[in-house]
């Protein structure tokens, strides 16, 4: 682990990159903004560009240095030195350590221990910090919002900015009690972060970006893409169709269908935005509802609202995914 002084030396002529993994609505972008605001030098924060939806996996990037020309590039971050994961359910879904430098830090909101985390991500060459940010959030903030708390974990393992600087940034962004509570939560997080230090620090002079990574070799080339921007359902030209997206991981609830009550009216089938209502043609030649496709159901609850006979109900998800999706806004406010 490097001290604040050592890091200052590093930052004079090097860049430190951070990447945040969260779900839409959890405030990952706010966390990365706060890094830039709290840092004494120059910084850039970029979200992963695109459409962000509640509960969908998100990424945001931070680049920090005391040398402004080093962070002047608008390239995305390919080689983070620190990766922070706000939602443990992402560990099974996203390759969170992609590009993470040897000796870099992975900080996860989780109740698992550090060795277990190393096992989940399959990396022995990285340091791990874990923090039960969800519990701290519920205790101190009274709401399950972990984005500021995870920053405490970063200060603990890599003090690139001071607690005071972060507190200032938070006070500029949030008001009164909300700011105070967030600062208290961060202080508690610094204390409670469990550190698993493998005794190796990242070499900040090495660029670990895979050359031409942004071109995504392995996907079809221009000679292989189908004619005219058309993808036929029976041809797997582009593997990443919406059918492959696990929208099921975005939601808070498991939707439950009651076959007994269901009258096969098909209203849920019409309203479902993800084609997650499964129907099959029966021997009688008619279509019957068969259940809910949990891989794609994002628990929007449209079907529950529309069902005339209350044949659909919901149950809060258990396990690591249960901390997804706060009710209203992001940013711990």
Partner 1 sequence: MSIEPMRIFFKEIKEPITTTMIGNYAVAGGVTQTDPDVICAFPITPQTQSVEGLSDVVHQGRLKAAFVNVESELAAISFSTAACAAGARSFTATASQGYLLMTEALPMAVGWRLPLTMMISARAFNSPNLSIWNSWEFTETNSEMGWNCIVSENVQETYDAAILSVMISEDSLFPTMFVHDGFIISHSVQKLTLIPDEAVRQMTPKKPRHTIDPSKPGTWGGIVTPSYFMEGRKNLDEAKKPVLNQMREVFSRFKKFTGREYDLIETYNLDNSSKTAFCTMGSMCGNIISWMLKNKDIGLIKIRAFRPFPHEELRKIIEEHNIEKLIILEKSDSLNGMLPPFSMSIATALYPLGTLFRSFIVGLGGRDVTRDEFDVAKKKMALVSDMNGRLYQYLGVRETKGNIYEVDY
Residues numbered 221 to 250 that lie near partner 1 (CB under 8 A) are 221-223, 225, 227-235, 238, 240-241
Q: Answer yes or no: are the C-beta atoms of 41 and 171 closer than 8 Å.
A: no
Give dist(CA 31, CA 186) in Å, integer.
12
Q: Which residue has the tokens 């939806």?
A: 53
Q: Which residue in the set 97, 110, 118, 299 belongs to the binding site for ligand SF4 (CB under 6 A)?
A: 299
Question: What is the footprint of partner 1 within residues 161-220 (CB under 8 A)?
Answer: 214, 216, 219-220
97 touches 208 (CB < 8 A)? no
Strand partners, 84: 20, 107
Question: From residue 141, how far is each of 48, 137, 176, 230, 252 by CA, in Å?
Answer: 27, 5, 13, 49, 20
286 binds partner 1 (CB under 8 A): no
Residue (122 or 233) nearer to partner 1, CB: 233
Phi, psi of 44 (to 5 degrees): -130, 135
What minimum distance in Å lies between the beta carbon of 59 and partner 1?
Answer: 13
Residue 212, both tokens:
């031409």
Sign of the alpha-carbon dihedral angle for 136, 138, 139, 140? positive
Query: Which C-beta is closer to partner 1: that of 124 or that of 222?
Result: 222
Name residues contacting partner 1, limited to 22-51 (CB under 8 A). 49-50
- Kind plus residue range of the DSSP H or E element containing 60: strand 57-65
Query: How far is residue 3's CA from residue 160's CA, in Å, rounded to a whole number?
Result: 9
Measured distance CA(62)–CA(83) in Å, rounded: 10
In angstroms, give the least distance from the CB of 238 to ligand SF4: 23
147 and 31 Cβ atoms separated by less than 8 Å: yes
232 binds, among ligand SF4, partner 1, none (CB under 5 to 8 A by kind): partner 1
With CB under 8 A as the rule, give the number of residues binding partner 1: 22
Per-residue contact string for residues 226-265; x = within reach of ligand SF4 by CB under 6 A: -----------------------------x-x----xxxx
Residue 311 binds to ligand SF4 (criterion: CB under 6 A): yes
Q: Tell me which of partner 1, ligand SF4, none is bound by residue 128, counting a contact when its beta carbon lies within the kind-specific cut-off of 5 to 8 angstroms.
A: none
Residues that bind ligand SF4 (CB under 6 A): 255, 257, 262-268, 271-272, 274, 276-277, 289, 292, 297-303, 306-307, 309, 311-312
Residues that bind partner 1 (CB under 8 A): 49-50, 214, 216, 219-223, 225, 227-235, 238, 240-241
């Amino acid at each position: 682990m490097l001290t604040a002084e050592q890091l200052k030396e590093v930052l004079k002529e090097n860049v430190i990159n951070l990447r945040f993994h969260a779900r839409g609505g959890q405030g990952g972008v706010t966390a990365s903004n706060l890094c830039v605001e709290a840092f004494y030098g120059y910084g850039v924060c970029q979200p992963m560009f695109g459409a962000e939806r509640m509960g969908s996996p998100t990424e945001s990037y931070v680049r920090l240095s005391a040398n402004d020309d080093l962070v002047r590039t608008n390239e995305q971050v390919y080689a983070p030195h620190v990766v922070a994961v706000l939602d443990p359910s992402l560990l099974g879904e996203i390759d969170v350590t992609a590009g993470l430098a040897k000796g870099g830090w992975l900080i996860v909101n989780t109740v698992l221990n550090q060795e277990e985390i190393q096992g989940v991500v399959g990396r022995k060459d990285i340091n791990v910090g874990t923090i039960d940010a969800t519990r701290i959030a519920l205790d101190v903030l009274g709401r399950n919002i972990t984005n500021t708390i995870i920053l405490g974990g970063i200060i603990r393992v890599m003090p690139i900015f001071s607690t005071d600087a972060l507190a200032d940034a938070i006070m500029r962004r949030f008001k009164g009690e909300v700011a105070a509570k967030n600062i208290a939560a961060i202080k508690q997080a610094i204390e409670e972060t469990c550190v698993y230090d493998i005794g190796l620090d990242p070499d900040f002079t090495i660029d670990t970006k895979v050359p031409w990574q942004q071109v995504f070799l392995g996907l079809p080339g221009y000679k292989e893409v189908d004619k005219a921007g058309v993808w036929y359902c029976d041809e797997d030209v582009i593997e990443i169709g919406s059918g492959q997206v696990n929208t099921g991981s975005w939601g808070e609830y498991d939707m439950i269908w009651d076959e007994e009550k269901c009258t096969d009216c098909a209203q849920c089938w019409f309203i479902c935005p993800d084609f997650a209502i499964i129907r099959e043609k029966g021997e009688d030649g008619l279509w019957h509802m068969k259940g809910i496709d949990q891989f794609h159901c994002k628990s929007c609850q449209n079907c529950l609202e529309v069902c005339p006979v209350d044949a659909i109900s919901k149950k809060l998800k258990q396990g690591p995914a249960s901390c997804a999706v706060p009710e209203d806004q992001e940013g711990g406010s």
